[in-house]
């Protein structure tokens, strides 16, 4: 089963939803701000997507700026990054999509075509 972690007010998440619907892919929508992925899920998604954890941050988000994550990031361990992200879904770049075998972070139409078609 596909899981899409997103935020309904996010235009990028709506693009991803539209893509999945057009591709005929059934998914479970999970509000990332209310139910962020657990530390274990984040670690698994990072591995499947082959993306470094530092790339999981929503760098344009208010929380990212308020918590001054950019300044802290070079000193943060992967474990600390996972703890931060799992504890605050607003810090996570969205959407996160996984089917348990593959995963994508953010919306990139070319990547979606390769991964989800």
CATH number at residue 55: 3.40.30.10
Average pLDDT over every residue of 96-102: 97
Peptide linkage before 51 cis (omega within 30 of 0): no
Provide the β-strand partners of residue 57. 92
Residue 96, by phi and psi: left (phi above 0), alpha (psi -120 to 50) or beta? beta
Q: By residue range, what is the domain housing residue 7?
A: 2-116
pLDDT in tens, 70-82: 999 999 999 999 9
pLDDT in tens, 30-85: 999 999 999 999 999 999 999 999 999 999 999 999 999 999 999 999 999 999 99
Burial class from Cβ neighbours inside 10 Å (0-12, 13-18, 19+) for residue 10 reads middle
How many domains, the chain? 1
């Amino acid at each position: 089963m596909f899981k899409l972690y997103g935020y309904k007010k996010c235009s990028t998440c709506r693009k991803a939803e539209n893509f999945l619907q057009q591709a005929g892919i059934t998914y479970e929508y999970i509000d990332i701000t209310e139910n962020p992925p657990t530390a274990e899920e984040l670690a698994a998604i990072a591995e499947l997507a082959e993306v470094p954890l530092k790339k999981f941050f929503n760098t344009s988000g208010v929380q990212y700026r308020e918590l001054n994550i950019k300044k802290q990031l070079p000193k943060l361990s992967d474990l600390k990054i996972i703890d931060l992200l799992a504890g605050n879904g607003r810090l996570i770049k969205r959407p996160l999509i996984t089917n348990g075998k593959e995963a994508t972070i953010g919306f990139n139409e070319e990547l979606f075509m390769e991964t989800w078609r």
